[in-house]
């Protein structure tokens, strides 16, 4: 049973139980979402959530606006991975420290360390991993971590740069666990277990072994699957950078293909061009935001990547049949 304790800002605290949950995803447009897994919920307007502790690598993905969770603890080590333009702050109580985490970094938070979390960007879009103690022990043995390393891991927050290999494994996990699951309501548990182990190992490597020493511990595996399709690589990159400026050349480079090959294979596999896919996904996210009532229409346009409000309004009407200002609140 995965549990955590929620601390109030005052003197008291109340123990809470977070039940072991099968996949719980709030990803249907137009549905009113509620936070799952919290007796005392975070503040903010939830847009999407998946919480799953059915595997040794516990997993929590949350996307919301105005996110804040007061002082609390977890009973497992936590690895924090903000996505895209999301930025968050983690503040610890004893000792008093503050850590700013974004897409370029990873933060480990020891179990039982009192801390709060706050989204500092307009959209809080963050994944947290919670490896079991058995998983940590196996990784430590494989990597040859010392008792000093383990003591630091269990007693202090450790912020490290998110090197390309770690980012690649994270995106592969997220794509399999979240993006594909939205459509087929299932995921490859064997693949995610393998990716979870590799992710933990590479984060620990980045934390305790500097780049100049990595060759002493790294294996010969690479993050790219030679059997992975161009479309899967492209989709992973698009979803990770959905609200950022993207050029076809950038997507093609990430997908290890020419622009012409990307366009041809993407259209065959996905049914639309990359441009149309990006446009539709941004408009879907805009609809979610508008239903929260938390942001003016103009701000929503900017949040999902539209610099021209007129273009946003026209595209929204074309897809949904009405102008953005007509959207009724559902939250």
Rounded Cα gap, residues 124 and 132, in angstroms: 25
Task: Indicate whether 259 and 282 sit together in one domain.
Answer: no
Nearest to 158 by CA among 104, 89, 105, 85: 105
* pLDDT computed for residue 122 by the predictor: 81
Contact between residue 192 and residue 177 where contact means Cβ atoms under 8 Å apart: yes
Task: Indicate whether 139 and 177 sit together in one domain.
Answer: yes
* pLDDT computed for residue 38 by the predictor: 59
- Domain assignment of residue 246, yes or no: yes
Nearest to 126 by CA among 192, 60, 176: 60
- Domain assignment of residue 117, yes or no: yes
- Look at strands 105-109 and 78-82 and give their pairing: antiparallel
> Looking at per-residue confidence, does 37 or 7 come out higher?
37
Measured at the CA of 73, the angle between CA 68 and CA 77, to 5 degrees, comes to: 110
Q: What is the pLDDT of residues 88-136, one digit of tens each?
A: 999 999 889 999 999 889 999 999 999 999 999 888 999 999 999 999 9
Residue 220 structure tokens: 């010969």
Single pTM value for the model: 0.68
* pLDDT computed for residue 288 by the predictor: 82
Task: Indicate whether 65 and 135 sit together in one domain.
Answer: yes
Q: What is the pLDDT of residues 15-66, one digit of tens each?
A: 333 333 333 333 333 344 556 655 567 888 888 888 888 889 999 999 888 8
In the block, tokens 């420290």 appear at 97
- Domain assignment of residue 224, yes or no: no
Task: Indicate whether 55 and 105 sit together in one domain.
Answer: yes
Checking if the pLDDT of 178 tops 90, the result is no
Q: What is the pLDDT of residues 255-269, one digit of tens each?
A: 999 999 999 999 998
Task: Indicate whether 105 and 12 sit together in one domain.
Answer: yes
- Domain assignment of residue 20, yes or no: yes
Task: Indicate whether 284 and 303 sit together in one domain.
Answer: yes
Residue 161 structure tokens: 């740069």
Torsion angle of alpha carbons 48, 53, 56, 57, nearest 10°?
Answer: 20
259 is in which domain, residue-wise?
230-271
Residue 88 C-alpha from the chain's centroid: 12
For residue 330, what are the CA distances in angstroms to 29, 70, 301? 10, 26, 19
Task: Indicate whether 169 and 304 sit together in one domain.
Answer: no
- Number of domains comprising the chain: 3
Question: Which CATH number is 48's domain given?
Answer: 2.60.120.810
Task: Indicate whether 16 and 160 sit together in one domain.
Answer: yes
Q: What is the pLDDT of residues 132-154, one digit of tens each?
A: 999 999 999 999 999 999 999 99
**Cis amide bond preceding 77, omega within 30:** no
* Dihedral sign from CA coordinates of 230, 236, 237, 238: positive
Which of the four pLDDT bands, split at 50, 70 and 90, describes residue 328?
Answer: confident
Task: Indicate whether 186 and 248 sit together in one domain.
Answer: no
- Domain assignment of residue 205, yes or no: yes
- Residue 237: how many CB atoms within 10 A of its CB? 20
- Domain assignment of residue 331, yes or no: no
- Domain assignment of residue 225, yes or no: no
* pLDDT computed for residue 27 by the predictor: 37
């Amino acid at each position: 049973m995965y549990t955590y304790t929620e601390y109030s800002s005052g003197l008291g605290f109340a123990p809470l139980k977070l039940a072991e949950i099968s996949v719980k995803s709030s990803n249907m447009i137009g549905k009113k979402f509620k936070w799952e897994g919290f007796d005392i919920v975070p503040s903010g307007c939830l847009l999407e959530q998946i919480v799953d502790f059915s595997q040794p690598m516990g997993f929590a993905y949350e996307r919301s606006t105005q996110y804040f969770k007061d002082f609390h603890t977890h009973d497992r080590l936590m690895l924090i991975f903000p996505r895209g333009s999301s930025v968050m702050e983690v503040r610890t109580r004893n000792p008093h420290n503050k850590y700013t985490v974004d897409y370029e970094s990873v933060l480990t938070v020891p179990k039982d360390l009192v801390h709060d979390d706050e989204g500092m960007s307009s959209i809080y879009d963050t994944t947290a991993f919670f490896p079991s103690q058995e998983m940590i022990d196996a990784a430590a043995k494989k990597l040859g971590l010392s008792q000093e390393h383990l003591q630091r891991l269990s007693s202090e927050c450790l912020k490290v740069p998110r090197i390309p290999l770690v980012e690649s494994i994270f995106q592969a996990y997220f794509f399999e666990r979240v993006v594909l699951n939205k459509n087929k309501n299932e995921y490859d548990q064997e693949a995610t277990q393998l990716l979870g182990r590799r992710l933990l190992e590479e984060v620990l490597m980045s934390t305790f072994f500097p780049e100049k020493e990595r060759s002493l511990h790294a294996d010969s595996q690479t993050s790219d699957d030679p059997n992975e399709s161009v479309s899967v690589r492209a989709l992973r990159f698009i979803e990770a950078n959905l609200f950022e400026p993207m050029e076809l050349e950038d997507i093609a480079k990430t997908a290890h293909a020419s622009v012409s090959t990307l366009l041809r294979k993407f259209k065959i596999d996905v049914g639309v061009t990359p441009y149309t896919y990006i446009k539709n996904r941004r408009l879907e996210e805009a609809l979610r935001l508008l239903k929260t009532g938390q942001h003016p229409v103009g701000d929503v346009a900017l949040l999902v990547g539209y610099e021209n409000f007129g273009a946003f309004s026209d595209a929204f009407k074309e897809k949904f049949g009405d102008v953005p200002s007509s959207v009724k609140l559902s939250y």
